[in-house]
Amino acid sequence: VISSFESKGTKDQQARTREEMVGPNLWAGMGRIRSGSAVAIVGSYEQCAQKIVEIEQAGIDLLILSGFPLHRECETVGRHVIPLVREMEREMGLVHEEDEAFLSLSQGVSV
């Protein structure tokens, strides 16, 4: 009996997943699942928030976030990741006064 952890298919899939990691917490395997050049931010809530802040610090000021299933992922990111991003931004002095007004308005938006 071969366990799923020893099967050739599982080993091949694990190797492909490692090859598709294009950076810390960045997975490029989305191209096999859907069209386009999507890269997934993967990891814990904290790791995903940190990656978003790193991207922001690199000069990217707009991210289009999506997930599977879309509505559940929107809720998960909104409840768990975005508050961490905002906290990290405040700690690093990345949030400006005009941003605070917008952020306080957006806190009441439900998904």
Do 2 and 56 lie in a common domain? no
Other beta carbons within 10 angstroms of residue 77's beta carbon come to: 21
Residues 70 and 20 in one domain: no
Shared domain for 50 and 98, answered yes or no, is yes
Instruction: Tally the domains of the chain.
Output: 2
Mean model confidence pLDDT for the chain? 77
Specify whether 57 is located in the same domain as 24.
no
CB proximity list for 24: less than 8 A, separation 6 or greater: 51
Task: Give the residue among 76, 79, 54, 56 at the shortest CA–CA distance from 67.
Answer: 76
Do 59 and 69 lie in one domain? The reply is: yes
In a shared domain, residues 32 and 61: no
Which of 6-10, 60-64, 72-76, 104-108 shows the lowest per-residue confidence on average (mean pLDDT)?
104-108
Residue-wise pLDDT for 39-92, tens only, equals: 888 899 999 999 999 999 999 888 887 777 778 888 999 999 999 999 999 999
Give the domain range for residue 97.
43-111
Is 110 a residue whose pLDDT tops 60? no
- pLDDT tier at 1, thresholds 50, 70, 90: very low
For the chain, the first-to-last Cα distance in angstroms comes to 47
Residues 101 and 55 in one domain: yes
